[in-house]
Amino acid sequence: MQLEAIPGVGAKTAAALRELDDPAATVESGDVAAIARAPGVNEARAARIARGAIRRRHDDDGRVLATDRARELYRAAIDLLRERTVTDYAAKRLETFYPSASASRIAEAQAFATDAIAREPDPAVREALADCAPLSDPPTVRVRDRCLATADAETLARAEAEVPELSVETVEDARDVSELGRSYASVIVLDESFAGLDVEGDVSVRPDALDTPAETVPERLLAFFAENRERLEAAAAVHEAAAAAGDPVSGGDGDADPPVDLDRLRDALSRLDDDGTIAGDAELDRLTAAVDDLDAAVSTAASVADDRLREAIRERDVTIEGTDFLSLVEQGARVDSLLDRELADEYDAAVDAAREHLADALRLEPEEAELAERVFGGDPSFPVDHDESAVSRLRTELSAARDRRAAKLKADLASDLGDLREPVERLVRDALELDVELAIARFARDFDCAMPEVVDPESSDRGFRIEGGRSPLLDVDFAAVEPVDYAVSGATLLSGVNSGGKTSTLDLVALVVVLAQMGMPVPAESATVERFEEIHYYAKSQGTLDAGAFEATLRDFGDLVDGADGRLVLVDELESITEPGASAKIIAGILEALDDQDATAVFVSHLAREIRDAADFDVAVDGIEAAGLVDGELRVNRSPKKGHLARSTPELIVEKLADDRGGEFYGDLLEKF
Ligand SMILES: Nc1ncnc2c1ncn2[C@@H]1O[C@H](COP(=O)(O)OP(=O)(O)OP(=O)(O)O)[C@@H](O)[C@H]1O
């Protein structure tokens, strides 16, 4: 796929996306986190790219949201969904849902949402999701004791690109390799031509080394798992909590089991330290501690011997002369011969004690203890001397054993983790996707939603029909929102008392249509919506416009009536842009043009009667009717009544005065309405 073919992806972004493992598949997957791994692509941008890829796939030019107010309603819809996510991932991923005019896109999103709303949001899953996040790539680890070697320039370039963790050295012959063997603990030669090479040290010829990175640089896998430990544990917890709640995260292929054996994953993670080294191996811990503690243990072992010897000497020389002798000795008089002659047994016992202490303190194995024995037991001396070269040999032995052990464990663990590398991507992605689904499920539950029917513009069921629609955008508690039934097909005027809920009805219609074309459930008992090409929603203008602004607005409407078919036009009190007489004529003219185009339009207006009179077709008028004034408060039936011009608030008040007070004045006034 040409990445540049995606709307909104230019050459620079395409180049960044090409850095991904499988750019086309990643972009198509809609996985915002995976797309955001491309250099310089943040998650918001990744969501736009994913949306662009969806558009391209459905051949959808995405012009549905045609005005600012329509875009505001989309934002409001997205916010209601996003508020119900736990993870940043899900919040961003929801942005890939947009109102589409493409039947296939809507069907695809509806299938996702239908599965989502069947889910049972569970508090334990929500809690587990809190620590969930997309996997991240740790910074490249540098491994300094191993190198790759090759005689071939091309292999060199490939090795440098693919294994940035290791130095790649050029070699020409066995001598070069042997030299490298002295500088590095291990050398991996990449060229077949070196097969059968016999040089000293840990040198291997492995032409496939670049294809088996888990063996060549186990550190890479270990660093990845160490870096992502918490995310992996969180994802595992999400899978477990969901399964315990009886609503398992599907493995993507309908399989209820997680894509990874979670016990195996946990076992592998328990063998890994946060810095990517091996944890929890007693033998490695012993060897590491032995190397670290060696000097200190030699020195305490020497003191143990000294103490014993001091005691022995003191016991021999219980007399005053003996003590004098001791202080003399400690001032540096030579005692070798004396120790040798008089205290040979005691000296041997002290040396044995030192050796024993050293072996015990460092928890040495028998063959290591043999080496350790040589540390003590040279020429007799007091204080007891130790042999530094024997210490050094012991250190070399222990360090080599430690490194061998670590390398083996790393290789073993990397081979275990290698199998998990791919599946954990799915483990985490499925957990994060679950958050997207649960947000939709919560939205549907919180606002008593239903899946709408989105019908073809060619069908006989044009326009929209909403039953029991309750807007979550009102300034009242959702529980107090009264249900609204409203259906419109064609160009219609909506009349009604002040504060009757006309603007709220337009908002409800826009929200339901936007959500329906996003493929989402809508806050209504049921809804059928035409698949509109464009949604034009104009909010109420703030007062009369000056001549310039008025002209601009008129031009907007001129363009609107000139445009394509399949539009929903929602306009709130357009009359306020200019004086009432002119407004009525203008609105009548716009309605006529929209009616000609079979557009679906709802114009909220207080001038419904005047507009109807000015129009040269039979404009439909609906009305939000007040049942009357009760204690100075309007009692409103929020569902517009079809084919009914609602009485205005002033009319209702005059009627009330005529009823309450009687008299000619109010009666005459009432007749004028
Ligand atoms: N369906 C509803 N359920 C409960 N309350 C509602 C409903 N619709 C509207 N309201 C309440 O009525 C108030 C006024 O609604 P809205 O602004 O939509 O009326 P309006 O008819 O457009 O008013 P105006 O004639 O002043 O433009 C809202 O702020 C809300 O508190």
Distance 487 CA to ligand 1 centre (A): 18
Helix (H) or strand (E) holding 101: none
Give the position, in ligand 1's atom list, of the atom nearest the Cα of 505: 18
pLDDT in the model for residue 318: 40
Both tokens assigned to 79: 């916010």
pLDDT in the model for residue 323: 64
Q: What b-and-e string marks burial along 248-261, b requiring 16 or more CB atoms within 10 Å of the CB?
A: bbbbeeeeeebbbe
User: Collapsing DSSP states into helix, strand and coil, what is residue 623?
Assistant: strand
Give the position, in ligand 1's atom list, of the atom nearest the Cα of 573: 27
Would you say residue 16 has pLDDT above 80? yes
Structural domain range at position 484:
454-646
Q: Is 241 a member of any domain? A: no
Decide: 418 and 220 in contact? Cβ < 8 Å.
no
Residue 381's nearest CA partner among 337, 416, 417, 342 is 337
Distance 502 CA to ligand 1 centre (A): 6
Return d(Cα 77, Cα 71) in angstroms, integer: 10
Both tokens assigned to 479: 């529980």
Distance 505 CA to ligand 1 centre (A): 8
Establish whether residue 481 lines the binding site of ligand 1, counting it when its CB lies within 6 angstroms of any ligand atom.
yes
Return d(Cα 61, Cα 185) in angstroms, integer: 59
Q: Is 91 a member of any domain? A: no
Decide: 565 and 535 in contact? Cβ < 8 Å.
no
Would you say residue 330 has pLDDT above 80? no
Which of 254-258, 307-311, 326-330, 533-537 has the largest mean confidence?
A: 533-537
| Statement to judge: residues 302 and 210 lie in one domain | no
Q: Structural domain tally of the chain?
A: 4
Amino acid identity at 457: P
Higher pLDDT, 210 or 629: 210
| Statement to judge: residues 293 and 173 lie in one domain | no
**Cβ neighbours of residue 103 under 8 Å, at least 6 residues apart?**
454, 456, 531
Decide: 650 and 631 in contact? Cβ < 8 Å.
no
Give the position, in ligand 1's atom list, of the atom nearest the Cα of 508: 1
Establish whether residue 503 lines the binding site of ligand 1, counting it when its CB lies within 6 angstroms of any ligand atom.
yes
| Statement to judge: residues 588 and 493 lie in one domain | yes
Determine which of 483-497, 556-570, 647-661 has the lowest per-residue pLDDT on average.
Answer: 647-661
pLDDT in the model for residue 404: 87
ipTM: 0.98
Section 25-44 average pLDDT: 88
| Statement to judge: residues 324 and 463 lie in one domain | no
Q: What is the CATH number of the domain that holds 469?
A: 3.40.50.300
| Statement to judge: residues 200 and 346 lie in one domain | no
Establish whether residue 476 lines the binding site of ligand 1, counting it when its CB lies within 6 angstroms of any ligand atom.
yes
Give the position, in ligand 1's atom list, of the atom nearest the Cα of 496: 21
**Separation in Å, CA 659 to CA 310, 651, 666:** 122, 12, 9
| Statement to judge: residues 470 and 606 lie in one domain | yes
Residue 462's nearest CA partner among 566, 534, 563 is 566
Distance 51 CA to ligand 1 centre (A): 35
pLDDT in the model for residue 660: 79
Return d(Cα 170, Cα 335) in angstroms, integer: 59
| Statement to judge: residues 508 and 639 lie in one domain | yes
Both tokens assigned to 42: 């943040």
pLDDT in the model for residue 446: 97
Q: Is 669 a member of any domain? A: no
Q: Is 672 a member of any domain? A: no
Model confidence at 320, in pLDDT bands (50, 70, 90)? very low
Residue 392's nearest CA partner among 522, 261, 291, 289 is 291
Which of 48-62, 480-494, 539-553 has the largest mean confidence?
A: 480-494
Establish whether residue 259 lines the binding site of ligand 1, counting it when its CB lies within 6 angstroms of any ligand atom.
no
Model confidence at 495, in pLDDT bands (50, 70, 90)? very high
| Statement to judge: residues 614 and 507 lie in one domain | yes
Q: Is 296 a member of any domain? A: yes
Determine which of 178-182, 381-385, 474-478, 635-639 has the lowest per-residue pLDDT on average.
Answer: 381-385
Q: Is 413 a member of any domain? A: no
| Statement to judge: residues 211 and 297 lie in one domain | no
Q: Give residue for tokens 């939000």.
A: 624
Amino acid identity at 349: A
Both tokens assigned to 578: 């200019």
User: Collapsing DSSP states into helix, strand and coil, what is residue 559?
Assistant: helix
Distance 307 CA to ligand 1 centre (A): 95
| Statement to judge: residues 515 and 642 lie in one domain | yes
Establish whether residue 191 lines the binding site of ligand 1, counting it when its CB lies within 6 angstroms of any ligand atom.
no
Nearest CA to ligand 1 atom 13: 499
Mean pLDDT of the chain: 88
User: Which percentage of the chain shows pLDDT scores above 90?
Assistant: 52
Section 210-234 average pLDDT: 92
Give the position, in ligand 1's atom list, of the atom nearest the Cα of 471: 1
Q: Is 134 a member of any domain? A: no
Establish whether residue 501 lines the binding site of ligand 1, counting it when its CB lies within 6 angstroms of any ligand atom.
yes
Give the position, in ligand 1's atom list, of the atom nearest the Cα of 500: 21
pLDDT in the model for residue 670: 79
Determine which of 49-53, 388-392, 575-579 has the lowest per-residue pLDDT on average.
Answer: 575-579
Give the dihedral of Cα atoms 605, 608, 611, 617; nearest 10 deg: 120
- Please state the residue numbers annotated as binding site: 496-503
pLDDT in the model for residue 471: 96
φ/ψ (deg, to 5) at 538:
-110, 120
Return d(Cα 545, Cα 559) in angstroms, integer: 19
pLDDT in the model for residue 280: 83
The residue from 25, 42, 57 where one domain ends is 57
Model confidence at 542, in pLDDT bands (50, 70, 90)? confident
pLDDT in tens, 93-144: 999 999 999 999 999 999 999 999 999 899 999 999 999 999 988 889 899 9
**Cβ neighbours of residue 114 under 8 Å, at least 6 residues apart?**
451
Establish whether residue 499 lines the binding site of ligand 1, counting it when its CB lies within 6 angstroms of any ligand atom.
yes
| Statement to judge: residues 465 and 609 lie in one domain | yes
Would you say residue 60 has pLDDT above 50? yes
Give the position, in ligand 1's atom list, of the atom nearest the Cα of 638: 1
Determine which of 159-168, 373-382, 442-451 has the lowest per-residue pLDDT on average.
Answer: 373-382
Distance 358 CA to ligand 1 centre (A): 87
Nearest CA to ligand 1 atom 15: 501
Would you say residue 2 has pLDDT above 80? yes
Return d(Cα 407, Cα 299) in angstroms, integer: 30
pLDDT in the model for residue 105: 95
- Please state the residue numbers annotated as binding site for ATP: 496-503
Establish whether residue 500 lines the binding site of ligand 1, counting it when its CB lies within 6 angstroms of any ligand atom.
yes
Which of 239-253, 342-356, 524-538, 611-625 has the largest mean confidence?
A: 524-538
Give the dihedral of Cα atoms 567, 639, 504, 549; nearest 10 deg: 50
| Statement to judge: residues 350 and 207 lie in one domain | no
The residue from 366, 386, 406 where one domain ends is 386
Q: What is the CATH number of the domain that holds 32?
A: 1.10.150
- H runs (alpha helix) in 199-317: 213-216, 218-227, 229-244, 262-270, 282-316
383 cis-preceded (ω within 30 degrees of 0): yes
Distance 491 CA to ligand 1 centre (A): 22
Both ends of the chain: CA-CA distance in Å? Answer: 66
Quickly count helices (H) and strands (E) in the chain.
Answer: 26, 15
Distance 654 CA to ligand 1 centre (A): 22
The residue from 342, 359, 386 where one domain ends is 386
Return d(Cα 127, Cα 132) in angstroms, integer: 10
Return d(Cα 183, Cα 199) in angstroms, integer: 13
Q: Is 266 a member of any domain? A: no
Determine which of 257-261, 439-443, 484-488 has the lowest per-residue pLDDT on average.
Answer: 257-261
pLDDT in the model for residue 251: 45
Would you say residue 28 has pLDDT above 80? yes
Decide: 569 and 601 in contact? Cβ < 8 Å.
yes
Nearest CA to ligand 1 atom 5: 481
Nearest CA to ligand 1 atom 10: 501
pLDDT in the model for residue 319: 43
